[in-house]
């Protein structure tokens, strides 16, 4: 589905000589599957961040550097804010992730425009 489409984009950028980064917030990237789709795992800049803030800081650093042609964040839902990870079970963190993403996207959008980096943010709807 969504990850497959993103990996196809990564493979195409690599095929054209570009540099690709993959922020695997879900810790679910299957190297064999990605390779099957044409991704060169050895040339892929892969990060598996511990917190949402870390994942977005890495994304910002990669985009700001101008050194990558495409960055994929998989997935937005897995970018859990530090306060939620470090908090107690049952603590309320209403809107924390939304604020984190909103702030990050405001910061990233100008940089993405300047560097012409392709940024793909994968998300999914979770129903109760």
Residue ranges per structural domain of the chain: 2-122
Distance CA 3, CA 5 (A): 5
Using alpha carbons, list the distances in angstroms from residue 67 to 15, 25, 35, 64, 79.
16, 21, 22, 8, 23
Q: H/E element holding 119?
A: strand 118-122
Distance CA 126, CA 115 (A): 33
Q: H/E element holding 121?
A: strand 118-122
Q: Per-residue pLDDT tens, the chain, 128 aa: give them.
A: 999 999 999 999 999 999 999 999 999 999 999 999 999 999 999 999 999 999 999 999 999 999 999 999 998 988 887 887 787 766 676 678 888 888 989 999 999 999 999 999 999 876 66
Tell me what pLDDT residue 19 has: 99
Q: Which CATH architecture has domain 2-122?
A: 3-Layer(aba) Sandwich (3.40)
Tell me what pLDDT residue 82 has: 85
Tell me what pLDDT residue 125 has: 76
């Amino acid at each position: 589905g969504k990850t497959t489409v993103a990996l196809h984009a990564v493979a195409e950028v690599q095929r054209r000589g570009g540099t690709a980064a993959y922020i695997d917030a879900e810790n679910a990237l299957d190297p064999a599957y990605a390779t099957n789709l044409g991704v060169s795992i050895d040339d892929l800049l892969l990060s598996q961040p511990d917190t949402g803030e870390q994942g977005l800081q890495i994304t910002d650093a990669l985009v700001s550097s101008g050194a990558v042609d495409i960055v994929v964040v998989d997935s937005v839902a897995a970018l859990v804010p530090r306060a939620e990870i470090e908090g107690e079970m049952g603590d309320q963190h209403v809107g924390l992730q939304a604020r984190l993403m909103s702030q990050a996207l405001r910061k990233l959008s100008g940089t993405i425009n300047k560097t012409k980096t392709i940024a793909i943010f994968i998300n999914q709807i979770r129903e109760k």
